[in-house]
Each structure stands twice: as structure tokens, then as C-alpha cells.
Structure 1
């Protein structure tokens, strides 16, 4: 499909521009949504902010284009799901969190 923009008026060019920008935003939102679906609330994830070391935490919320991660140190980050990696628990570890203690028979 070819569009001859040389034949369009200024108003038509402005309208075309708005439609293109709207479509690009929609495609970006769809891409972010698909990336978010790879993760679930409660997943342990890791990411590396620019100029810092890797951070690890728990995914706590889906936002429009990002997800919210609470790090182990208590910091709250809104992160693009494209930069997240899932943290696989080590074998034999408690995946419910460090504040949960196993029950023992007395």
C-alpha cells in the first residue's frame, strides 16, 4: 500500500500524523501487555537499573505499561516488563517468603 503524501493538504497530513501516532501508541501498549502476561503477581523477579547493581524483589502490581516491584530492601520500582527476569527458587527453599516458618510437630 502506497500513500502519496504529496497530494495531501496540510489538514489531511495533520490528521494522518495523529492517526499514525495513535496507532504506534496502541502497538506499544499491546507489546507491553504481552510482556506483562509472562509474569504473575507474587513472582520473584530481578532487574538492573541503569548505573546500579541487580535488584531482586516481588512483582506486586500491573500498571498500564509497567509493573510494580517491591525490592527485598523495601524500595518500590515501576519497571518495564521487558527488563525483568524471573528468579527461580533454589531447590529445597521456601517459596512463600522469608517471614513464613515451617510448622514442626511437638
Structure 2
């Protein structure tokens, strides 16, 4: 048996690597989409039931109060704003800036 010379075709090897890499990424994206299609409705249904349970609990605890889903969403937004303001105040205090104290006379 004779010794045979083996030549490596780098161009074909690189193209094949890129094609297989692209196919792998596309398959991963497709699997994620299938997963989302099957799990998203369940998550949305659970979230909706959670909001409804919260509304029922609030209406049971406070029967005179008329609370809607929009009110709850607005309350969440206000809570997020308060948290952000609190974080900003903490950051200002950490940087060494002293908060301005107002005189009671000026109030």
C-alpha cells in the first residue's frame, strides 16, 4: 500500500462549520418559540387568575372600596416609582451629600 497525501480543504470545512452553526442556532430559536407557544398561555392564565384572586381578596377585606385591575396596575407603577426614589435617596446619602433639611417655619 502506497502512502497517500491528504490535503485539507479549509474553505469547505469553514463553510460547513458556519452552515452547521447557523442550523444549530435556528433549531434552538425554533425550540424556544415552540416552548413559548405552549407555556405562554398557561403563564398568562395563571397571572390573570392571580390578579382576580387579589381583587376578590381586596373586595372581601374592604367591601366599601371599588378596586379594578387598572387601579392595581397604577398602584404597582406608583410603588415602582417610590422604590426608585428611595434608591436615589440612598445613593445620594452614600455619596456623602447631606439632604437639605427644611425649617419648620418655612413650611
Q: Normalising TM by the smaller chain, what interval? A: 0.3 to 0.5
TM-score calculated relative to the size of structure 1: 0.37
TM-score calculated relative to the size of structure 2: 0.37
| Larger Rg belongs to | 2
**Quick one: higher RCO (CA 8 Å, sep 6+), 1 or 2?**
1
- Give the structure with the higher percent strand: 1
